[in-house]
Structure 1
Amino acid sequence: MAQKIINKISEPFILEGNETFIGASIGITLYPDDASDADDLIRNADMAMYRAKDAGRNDYRFFTFTMNEQVFERMQLEKDMRAGLERNEFFLEYQPIVDTVNEQTVHAEALVRWQHPEHGLIPPDRFISLAEESGLINQLGWWVLENACAQAKQWSLNGYPVGISVNLSSRQIKAGLSSEKIVTMLNEVGLEPTLLTLEITEGLLLDDTEETLLWLNTIKQTGVKLSVDDFGTGFSSLSYLKRFPVNIIKIDKGFVQDVTHDHDDATLVKAIIGLAESFNINVVAEGVETEGQLKFLRQHNCDMIQGFYYSRPLAAENLLGYLKQGAAA
């Protein structure tokens, strides 16, 4: 019955002369097995519906008691995250981004980590999505941006003016993160705008709204660079490379890891590099781990690489040592 409802709702209809499509996600709970009163039944069905949405939408899910446990865990993790931001439990590591020609570190990507007092190191894939859903990404994202820029200034004072790359959530932009606020912060820490690169996702560009274009252009006017992260993993509309002021695209590691033995991945990576070159956009290949991958990327004029081949993410003081070693070499 649930599938019949979804199928019926998904049929196109005409709205003010336009063909329109909608979908439905359905959560199902059963009386008396799951609950004995209306309030609990509604709450259980709501939980199951959100699980259907998480699974890709236009689907249905039955309530299970493990959902209760998972919801409690997420609520507790969100509570811990709020407290963790107050208690300075988050810290940054930095992964070098290396020029493929002279093998010098030209940027470092700031990566946020969470050292939980009870559960130890919590991986980003557990808390970043929760931060986005809860709205905590605005506070966490600003903390990352401010501290990464301050750290880049310290490297510069030590004689190593390395650029810093920081991931930016589209939710931060929609919440009002302005170019003026970023410039004010850069002035306060004393970092040149040209040393900051903001990494955004393809999803933001695919929105293709005038508001997005205006925001991107105001950022570019400050001198801050823009990078498209995990390029090729979304439903790319290549026209946005012409429309939007992008300086760098990063090829997702999923394509890079098999370039030496997968013809399709090799062809795709070569095409991305060629496309970027035609638009005068620099390319970073992520997830480089082997000599063969590096050789392939050099042969096809990839500008920069990032990955374990050169270095894992490092603490700030260890990255400074890495920079000194590179300069000596």
Structure 2
Amino acid sequence: MLTGLPDRQYFATHLENALRRQASGTAVPLYHIRLDALSLISAGLGRAVSDKLLVLTAQRLKAVFAAEDAMVARFDGDEFAVFVANKPDSPDIVTDRHMGVVEASILAAQLPGALEMGEIVVTHRPVVDLATNSAVRSELILRWDHQEHGVIPHDRCVEFTEQTGFSSMLLTATCRELRATPDVPLSVNLTRRQSTDMELVSSALRSWDLNQVSHERLWLGMPLDLLSDANGEAADAHQVLADLGIEFIGLGFTGSLRDLACLERFSLRAVRISAALTNTTLRVANLVHQTGALLIVDGITAEEQADRWRHAGADLGQGPLWGPHGTQAFRLD
């Protein structure tokens, strides 16, 4: 039994017994729940993914009603039911968190079709020199112009590509852009999974070599906490690519001693810090510059915030102040 829940017949029998025991005129809360587009998820991502979603739904329903005298059952396919005995009200089970699991799976299943229709594009997100307020390089990010949900930002797009086996497409697009825009320095950030995937690194190397691109203009972002494990796969991937002349940005910099040690060990070109970390701005900039690296501030929303980081010694900035979703969109082929 996939979910470990009772079936429709068992549920109906116990519901009848509960109704007979219930005081006259007292209602029994009863829920009928259906997972929309489960067949779409199964067709787009495979049976194993849709089965995992069913199991996860069953687990969450049982957790929500764990403190109640309740029965959770699975009917046919994508249908669930719950009744709560001896209580006139019950928890609100349809929360954003629960529905978000289903919605994310549906969007992931739609991704291959969205690629074919040209709804997912790569855009140039400006990296701005804070001293001159001019763009000096571009970070490549994904943007999905969804007909129903509007603009789906880069982080969600990356999440869906990793679920559907398209995780290398941004690196492939980076290769194309290196050739198409020879005068524009580019940056692209590796996900946590990509940073520890040597096969993906090998695939990128084959792609870049095949297209005879110059690597020197490319900065790759990699999470600092993964790099800090000097004997880990992320460190190995960094070494292979650094030997080709590719320079790295340390992502998620906080100014901790561990981050600074990692910065010195790997001779990173830059580190990126969140604009929300404002309490030690001057100290952080000085420490970064002592290692010879640049400090990039991400998430700048207003000119006043840019001024504060500029005066603190930060070198480069990114964020909604210069456009939330990037510019110069081009389709993925």
TM range (shorter): 0.5 to 0.7
Aligned to 1:250: 272
Matched, 1:169 2:181: no
Match of 1:149 among 175, 188, 213: 175
What secondary structure is seen at the aligned counterpart in 2 of 1:241? Answer: helix
Return closer, same or farther for 1:299/1:175 CA change in 2, 3 Å cut-off: closer
How much has 1:76 moved relative to structure 2?
Answer: 1.7
Single out whichever of 107-116 and 207-216 deviates more from structure 2: 207-216
Q: What aligned pairs does 1:11-30 form with structure 2 within 5 A after superposition?
A: 28=63, 30=66
What secondary structure is seen at the aligned counterpart in 1 of 2:300? Answer: coil
How much has 1:65 moved relative to structure 2?
Answer: 5.7
How much has 1:150 moved relative to structure 2?
Answer: 1.7
Query: Which amino acid is the alignment partner of residue 315 of structure 2?
Result: D
Deviations, residues 50-104 of structure 1 (Å, cap 9, x unaligned): xxxxxxxxxxxx9946576444333322211243244443102212112234444
Q: Which has the higher helix share?
A: 1
Query: Which amino acid is the alignment partner of residue 167 of structure 1?
Result: N
How much has 1:168 moved relative to structure 2?
Answer: 0.8
Aligned to 1:305: 317
Query: Alignment identity in percent?
Result: 21
Aligned to 2:122: 92
What secondary structure is seen at the aligned counterpart in 2 of 1:316? Answer: strand
Query: RMSD across aligned C-alpha pairs, in angstroms?
Result: 3.7
Return closer, same or farther for 1:118/1:249 CA change in 2, 3 Å cut-off: same
Return closer, same or farther for 1:209/1:34 CA change in 2, 3 Å cut-off: farther
What secondary structure is seen at the aligned counterpart in 2 of 1:35? Answer: strand
How much has 1:248 moved relative to structure 2?
Answer: 0.9
Return closer, same or farther for 1:153/1:312 CA change in 2, 3 Å cut-off: farther
Distance 2:223 2:157 in 1: 18
Aligned to 2:44: none
Distance 1:98 1:173 in 2: 25
Distance 2:180 2:119 in 1: 22
Q: Is the 8 A contact 2:221 2:248 kept in 1?
A: yes
Return closer, same or farther for 1:194/1:74 CA change in 2, 3 Å cut-off: same
Q: What aligned pairs does 1:1-329 form with structure 2 within 5 A after superposition?
A: 28=63, 30=66, 33-36=70-73, 64=93, 69-132=99-162, 134=163, 136=164, 139=166, 141-156=167-182, 161-232=183-254, 237-255=259-277, 265-266=278-279, 268-316=280-328
Q: Is the 8 A contact 1:170 1:200 kept in 2?
A: yes
Distance 1:310 1:121 in 2: 17
Q: What is the count of residue pairs matched by the alignment?
A: 258
Distance 2:155 2:200 in 1: 26
Return closer, same or farther for 1:69/1:275 CA change in 2, 3 Å cut-off: closer
Residue ranges of structure 1 left out of the alignment (5+ in a row): 1-24, 45-61, 256-264, 319-329
Query: Which amino acid is the alignment partner of residue 275 of structure 2?
Result: K
Q: Is the 8 A contact 2:128 2:135 kept in 1?
A: yes
How much has 1:131 moved relative to structure 2?
Answer: 4.4
Distance 1:109 1:80 in 2: 25
Q: Is the 8 A contact 1:91 1:114 kept in 2?
A: yes
Residue ranges of structure 2 left out of the alignment (5+ in a row): 1-58, 82-90
Q: Is the 8 A contact 1:179 1:222 kept in 2?
A: no
What secondary structure is seen at the aligned counterpart in 1 of 2:213? Answer: coil
What secondary structure is seen at the aligned counterpart in 2 of 1:193? Answer: coil
Query: Which amino acid is the alignment partner of residue 212 of structure 1?
Result: A
Single out whichever of 85-94 and 105-114 deviates more from structure 2: 85-94
Distance 2:206 2:295 in 1: 29
What secondary structure is seen at the aligned counterpart in 1 of 2:70? Answer: coil
Deviations, residues 237-274 of structure 1 (Å, cap 9, x unaligned): 4322222342210121212xxxxxxxxx24x1212211
Q: Is the 8 A contact 2:250 2:263 kept in 1?
A: no
What secondary structure is seen at the aligned counterpart in 2 of 1:171? Answer: helix
Distance 1:182 1:205 in 2: 19
Distance 1:123 1:310 in 2: 15
Distance 1:38 1:130 in 2: 29
Query: Which amino acid is the alignment partner of residue 218 of structure 1?
Result: V
Return closer, same or farther for 1:105/1:191 CA change in 2, 3 Å cut-off: farther
The structure that has the greater radius of gyration is 2
What secondary structure is seen at the aligned counterpart in 2 of 1:113? Answer: strand
Query: Which amino acid is the alignment partner of residue 104 of structure 2?
Result: R
